[in-house]
Amino acid sequence: MIGLSVSFLLKVIVVLLVILFLFTVYLLFQRRREIRFAETRDTFLQNYSLPWYNYLINDENFSIVLVPRGKAQVAAVEIIFSSYLKNILDEKVEQKIKEFSNLYLKEFYEKDLSSRRWSIRMNALYRIADFKIDELLNACQQFEKSKISEEENFQLLKIYSLFQPELFIEKIKELTVHYSESEYRRLFVLLEDDIFIRLFEDFDSWTKNIQFAAIDTAAVKRNMQYIDQLKQLLTHEVPEIQIRALKGLYEIGVIDEIDPYVPFVTSDMWEVRLMVAKIFKHVPLNYSYTYLEQLLEDENWWVRSQAAKTIAENKEGIAKLQQFMESSNDQYAIEMAQESVVRKQGNK
Amino acid sequence: MNKLFIAEDIMQEHEVKGYFEILRESVIRSRFTMTAVFFKLANSSQGTDIERHQVNHQISAFLKSKIRKTDLLFQLADGMHWGVFFLQSSEVEVKAFLTRIFAILKQEREFQQIPLKASITEIRNNSVNFEALLEKNKQKLADDEQPSWSIEQVTDYNVQPTELVKVSIIEQNAIFRKVLETTISHLDIPHFTLEVASYEDGYSFLKSDSYKSGHMHLVIMNDILPRKNGLEILHILREMPNEKKFIIYMMSERNSEGASLNAYEGGVDEFIVKPFNLRVLEAKIRRTFARFWL
Amino acid sequence: MKVFLDFCMWFFGGAILFYMLFVIVSYCTMFVIAMLVMRKRYKLDPSEYDDAHIDAFYSKPVSLLVPAYNEEVGVVDTVYSLLNLRYPQTEIIIINDGSTDTTLQTVIEHFRMKPVDKIVRTNIPTKEVRQIYESEIYQNCILVDKENGGKADALNVGINVSQYPYFCSIDGDSILDEKSLLRVMKPIILSDGEVIAAGGNIRIANGAKMQLGSVTESRLSNNYLVIMQVIEYVRAFLMGRIALSKFNLVLIISGAFSVFSKEWAVEAGGYSTNIIGEDMELVVNIHRLIRKKKEKKRIEFVPDPVCWTEAPQTLGVLRNQRRRWHQGLFESLWKHKTMTFNPKYGLIGFIAFPYFWLVECLGPIVELAGYIYIVVAFFLGKIYYEVAFMLLLLFVIYGVIFSIASILFEAWTLNNYPKKRELLRMVLLSFTEIFWYRPLTLFWRCEGLIRFVLGKSDWGNMKRAGIAEKEESV
């Protein structure tokens, strides 16, 4: 039995070694190909970077030499385009890239979409969105019907949001996969205002992640018209949404009335009280001070710390804090006030 | 008799010459325009000596009361001209000043008898000497037919010298580096010549030694760079004794308040978040250089 | 007597053979899983993700902890490489662990640190903090001066001082890529916090052209010992980490560069100060916590290379390192031995722990026994030749074939085709592995085991060296 095993093992080793040898040869061959590919790509970059600059930036006439031939040259053009898009903000450049890609790169990516390789398809989807190849919208919808991964589906959503927002809203409603908040943010942040605001219309019908992402995106857009939407959410029954809405309003930084926020000072959740202590930064101190003093004596460290910080940031804050230290008998609160005062004075 | 016309409490021509030479050189060094104004009575031939003495005294006192502490008032040796050097002031500013004081003179009754005229010389280079300046202005004011309150101009010295500015672009992306290089070398900024060089990382910039020369130096760099990052270079440049010659623009992909705060605290002049518009960058550069001369 | 010897030889021969087959099969399985994971990403453009997530809006802020014990030479460079990270929001916390050299002064002078009064929330009890400083140049740069207490204690202080929800521990001597943090944080961001700890792939940077904190040109070292370690790292990465990570079975993420959720790390008690492998200890404790709280959280290993480190160049240093690693591994496993085959811990108890016990921990003993067996069999005569020969063949598969396969597949999946000369050199060197490198490391690892069993004599000594030395296991 063992004798058989030895010869068997020997055979296995020989077979494996032969496979590995062939694999090595294949790799070395691949390397040669890669090098040739890189050479062609770099030559194109070398020769046509300047003509591309002249076309994109200096408005020179389009020349047929700019059109890439073969995969390596397409890779070169991709490098040029993404360098411009990543670094330069210019509608004219974007428009030119879009036109060119729709005309000359469309077929490459259409073919890549039907590739067996997931990574090739993903790259194609990236480029369609980056270069705004809207003529491939139909191809994308067709592509959606095949069995696709979550990541591909996400890229498709991004493409729809760019080319056909209506379709995007539709798709996101019937979404079966769940994306992370940060992914939804990436989708929402690019939306036009009128489309984006529709997310708030039917707010409760969305999944949690969409709700959170919508609130955060509203905050980062710093658009006045979202303030009302966020204020309405302050009375939402889910505490997490309340906290997010408070955070969003804090980030927008425009607090026109203090009344809606006062009830939160006595909230059961310390996170809520922390957010209120932050929001009072944007309110004149004489309106907010009584509440802040309350928060300064809060049982939670973070709330106390934030309340002290908020007071100290105000011009009259230091004086108020010193007054407080004399009158209060809450040792923790006094320490916190002390730290804020020292910190503030140290900065001057 | 000339002595009579001279007011004792203002500086005299011969005292001012030395000052002028210092001021003229600092015009170049600190890139601040200086403007010289010379006054003369519009009808200087009238009146007795006593009257003229009286008038001269009034003029000196009046001018003295109107100029700023940084301006230098003096009387010329011939007793008929007054000169003022307005430091850090352009011709426009000085014209506004003249209009103001002429208006006062016209209105106030006690000054009725001193109708002045003036000539303005804007000085932006150092190819002017004191004697020539005086001579040119005297000529401008020599014509007795000139009406009161008229303002003449000497324009011989208002062209600033062209200054060489080094521009260093430090950016990793080869294509964008080339874009910046091409764009900036085509930038036409009056009175400045840009000498553009580009580097792919911080180390090669520091090795190039070009930053050690005394020229004004515009550095446009990314905050993230291979081999010595932007913040490190910023620190090195700002620690140099003549760090004021550097104008530092920092480009960043990091879109956060913290990153820009850090950069400004570290001493950048502009913090530009990528992607940005090239035209805006050009405008920022133009604006930066426009600030150098009034 | 002869019968007894005969019985022993057959018994041990069989046992070792069986063990080797078991190990080979488990490695093969992990290798196949890794291939499937890696090959999917072949030629995928990573910049797409990187560019999107450079914006603070999509990412979460991270506190970077730099423990420093007598690192006056390297600490400034480390901080600069952290300032150079492509990440929107970070704070850098340098913890001076009671250095006896000028580490403190160097940092204070270079970054213009100014003492600040700051109340630190003591989440984890630590040695006393003497003073906290803040940089005048970089607002997000903090220096903490504390009493000496070892690396784990320094990291705990850093956790207490940190203000962000995630923290990342960094070894003073590792070199980071500008995208390191972005990549390591990727699973955390994309899972909405379901991933609570992540570690990256560590590479060896010897021989690569390194200048001022960046790897400019990766070239293979000329030192055979270093090349062997390069191969070893690649193999450990392909036949282990990736597969384990896929099933949430990661027990070790290298302390050289890994991110943890502060909330979970604090709840798990932070870094343990009385243990050699404090990074493994933390991971295991977090695993325990996950099971205890019955939450759906993961610890992940990121296949992207994120961190470069200098490998030992001499046998002496390497021996020290391996001995320590193994002693640490055994110690941690022993401490948590009750988790083995404990149904409470699910797959961790039934797969990860047995795997670490059998393959990683006790493996060296069996393998070394195998080597001894071959030698003994050679002297005892013909009847044992066959077993010995089979053993030898298994060693060949285990050592040579796996090594070569790892090198080739790694090059293939990452699409970075190495130079012909380098590839061939690595392949040829793999053939020699079973004759010198493997026995040597086996021996050192067994030494580590013995040291653990004999007692923890030179412990304090070890702890002190901890900060200067690298803290990862292969």
Nearest chain A residue to C422, by CA: A28
What is the rounded distance in angstroms from the CA atom of residue C345 to the CA atom of residue A243?
35
Report the range of poorest mean pLDDT among A298-307, B3-12, B130-139, C44-53.
Answer: B3-12
Interfacial residues of B (vs A; Cβ cutoff 8 Å): 173-176, 178-179, 182-183, 251, 253, 274-279
Of B224, B255, B259, which is closest to C178 when you measure between CB atoms? Answer: B224
Smallest CA–CA distance, residue A229 to chain C, in Å, is: 20
A347 touching chain B per CB within 8 A: no
A223: which DSSP letter? -
Of B226, B232, B259, which is closest to C80 when you measure between CB atoms? Answer: B232
Residue from B262, B264, B271, B273 whose CB has the most chain C CBs within 10 Å, to mutate = B262
The band of B250, judged by pLDDT with boundaries at 50, 70 and 90, is very high
ipTM: 0.76
Chains contacting B (3+ CB pairs below 8 angstroms): A, C
Q: If you count residue pairs, one on B and one on C, with CB atoms under 8 Å apart, how many are there?
A: 63
Mean pLDDT score across all residues of chain C = 83
Share of chain C above pLDDT 70, in %: 90
The pLDDT value recorded for residue A284 is: 84
Greatest mean pLDDT among A192-196, C12-16, C281-285, C458-462: C281-285
Smallest CA–CA distance, residue C21 to chain A, in Å, is: 11
Rounded (10°) angle between helices A239-252 and A270-279: 20
Nearest chain C residue to B265, by CA: C137
Cβ separation of B275 and A86 shorter than 8 Å? yes
The pLDDT value recorded for residue B249 is: 95
Of B179, B251, B275, which is closest to A85 when you measure between CB atoms? Answer: B275
Smallest CA–CA distance, residue B245 to chain C, in Å, is: 20
Cβ separation of B266 and C137 shorter than 8 Å? yes
**pLDDT > 70? residue B4:** no
Smallest CA–CA distance, residue B226 to chain C, in Å, is: 6
The band of C241, judged by pLDDT with boundaries at 50, 70 and 90, is confident
Of C83, C85, C214, which is closest to B226 when you measure between CB atoms? Answer: C214
Cβ separation of B262 and C140 shorter than 8 Å? yes
Contact list, B175 vs chain A (CB under 8 Å)? 45, 49, 79-80, 83-84
Which two three-digit tokens encode residue B144? 């007795």
Cβ separation of A31 and C420 shorter than 8 Å? yes
Report the range of poorest mean pLDDT among A213-217, B2-6, C136-140.
Answer: B2-6
Cβ separation of C117 and A342 shorter than 8 Å? yes
Q: Is the peptide bond before B275 cis (omega within 30 degrees of 0)?
A: yes
Query: Per residue, what are the HEC states of chain C?
Result: CHHHHHHHHHHHHHHHHHHHHHHHHHHHHHHHHHHHHHHHCCCCCCHHHHHHCCCCCCCCCEEEEEEECCCCCCHHHHHHHHHCCCCCCEEEEEEEECCCCCHHHHHHHHCCEEEECCCCCCCCCCCCEEEEEEECCCCCEEEEEECCCHHHHHHHHHHHHCCCCEEEEECCCCEECCCHHHHHHHHHHHCCCCEEEEEEEEEECCCCEEECCEEEECCCCCCHHHHHHHHHHHHHHHHHHHHHHHCCCCCCCCCCEEEEEHHHHHHCCCCCCCCCCHHHHHHHHHHHHHHHHCCCCEEEEEEEEEEEECCCCCHHHHHHHHHHHHHHHHHHHHHCHHHCCCHHHHHHHHHHHHHHHHHHHCHHHHHHHHHHHHHHHHHHCHHHHHHHHHHHHHHHHHHHHHHHHHHHHHHHHHCCCCCHHHHHHHHHHHHHHHHCHHHHHHHHHHHHHHHHHHCCCCHHHHHHHCCCCCCCCC
Nearest chain A residue to B256, by CA: A220
Smallest CA–CA distance, residue C87 to chain B, in Å, is: 7
The pLDDT value recorded for residue B111 is: 61
The pLDDT value recorded for residue B44 is: 59
The band of B45, judged by pLDDT with boundaries at 50, 70 and 90, is low
Mean pLDDT score across all residues of chain B = 84
B172 touching chain C per CB within 8 A: no
Cβ separation of B176 and A88 shorter than 8 Å? yes
Chains contacting A (3+ CB pairs below 8 angstroms): B, C
Contact list, C138 vs chain B (CB under 8 Å)? 231, 262, 265-266
A57 touching chain B per CB within 8 A: yes
Please, are residues A93 and A57 in contact by the beta-carbon 8 Å criterion? yes
Residues in A 236-265 with any Cβ partner in C closer than 8 A:
none
Please, are residues C362 and C262 in contact by the beta-carbon 8 Å criterion? no
* pLDDT average, residue stretch C61-84: 86
What is the rounded distance in angstroms from the CA atom of residue C141 to the CA atom of residue C187?
26
A13 touching chain C per CB within 8 A: yes
Please, are residues A76 and A68 in contact by the beta-carbon 8 Å criterion? yes
Of C51, C57, C86, which is closest to B224 when you measure between CB atoms? Answer: C86
The pLDDT value recorded for residue C470 is: 36
**pLDDT > 90? residue C64:** yes
Cβ separation of C140 and B255 shorter than 8 Å? no
The pLDDT value recorded for residue A59 is: 84
Residue from C47, C121, C263, C404 whose CB has the most chain A CBs within 10 Å, to mutate = C404
DSSP string, chain B: -HHHH--TTSEEHHHHHHHHHHHHHHHHHHT--EEEEEEEETTTT-S-HHHHHHHHHHHHHHHHHHS-TT-EEEE-TTSSEEEEEETT--HHHHHHHHHHHHHHHHH-GGGTT--EEEEEEEE-SS---HHHHHHHHHHHT--TTSPTT-EEEE-TT-PPPPEEEEEEEE-S-HHHHHHHHHHHHT---TTEEEEEEEESSHHHHHHH-GGGSSSEEEEEEESS-SSS-HHHHHHHHHTSTTGGGEEEEEEES--SHHHHHHHHHHT-SEEEESSB-HHHHHHHHHHHHHTT--
* pLDDT average, residue stretch B28-44: 83
Of C86, C139, C211, which is closest to B203 when you measure between CB atoms? Answer: C211
Greatest mean pLDDT among A259-263, B97-101, C61-65, C109-113: C61-65
End-to-end CA distance of chain B: 42
CATH class of A180-254: mainly alpha
What is the rounded distance in angstroms from the CA atom of residue A129 to the CA atom of residue A159?
5
Cβ separation of C423 and A24 shorter than 8 Å? yes
Cβ separation of B277 and A89 shorter than 8 Å? yes
* Chain centre distance of CA C229: 13
* pLDDT average, residue stretch B147-158: 84
* pLDDT average, residue stretch C172-179: 76
Residue from A4, A119, A182 whose CB has the most chain C CBs within 10 Å, to mutate = A182
Cβ separation of A53 and B179 shorter than 8 Å? yes
One pLDDT digit (tens) per residue for chain A, 348 residues: 455 577 888 888 888 889 989 988 888 888 888 889 999 999 999 999 899 999 988 888 888 888 888 888 999 999 999 999 989 998 899 999 999 999 888 888 989 888 888 888 888 999 998 888 888 888 888 888 888 888 888 888 888 888 888 888 888 888 888 888 888 888 888 788 888 888 888 788 888 888 888 888 888 877 778 888 888 888 888 888 888 888 888 888 888 888 888 888 888 888 888 888 888 888 888 888 888 888 888 888 888 888 888 888 887 888 888 888 888 877 778 878 887 777 777 654
A91 touching chain B per CB within 8 A: no
Of B173, B179, B276, which is closest to A89 when you measure between CB atoms? Answer: B276
Of B173, B183, B277, which is closest to A83 when you measure between CB atoms? Answer: B173
Q: CA B145, B147, B153 angle in degrees (round to 5)?
A: 95
pLDDT digits (tens, 9 = 90+) for C437-452: 988 999 999 988 888 8
Cβ separation of C212 and B227 shorter than 8 Å? yes
C261 pairs with which residues across the strands? C166
A192: which DSSP letter? -
Nearest chain C residue to A15, by CA: C401
Distances in whole angstroms, Cα of residue A152 to Cα of each of A45, A128, A304, B139: 30, 12, 46, 83
B236 touching chain C per CB within 8 A: no
pLDDT digits (tens, 9 = 90+) for C370-419: 888 888 888 887 777 888 888 888 888 888 888 999 888 888 877 666 77
Of A45, A57, A86, which is closest to B274 when you measure between CB atoms? Answer: A86
The pLDDT value recorded for residue A3 is: 54
Residue extents of the structural domains in chain A: 180-254, 265-348
Cβ separation of B228 and C87 shorter than 8 Å? no
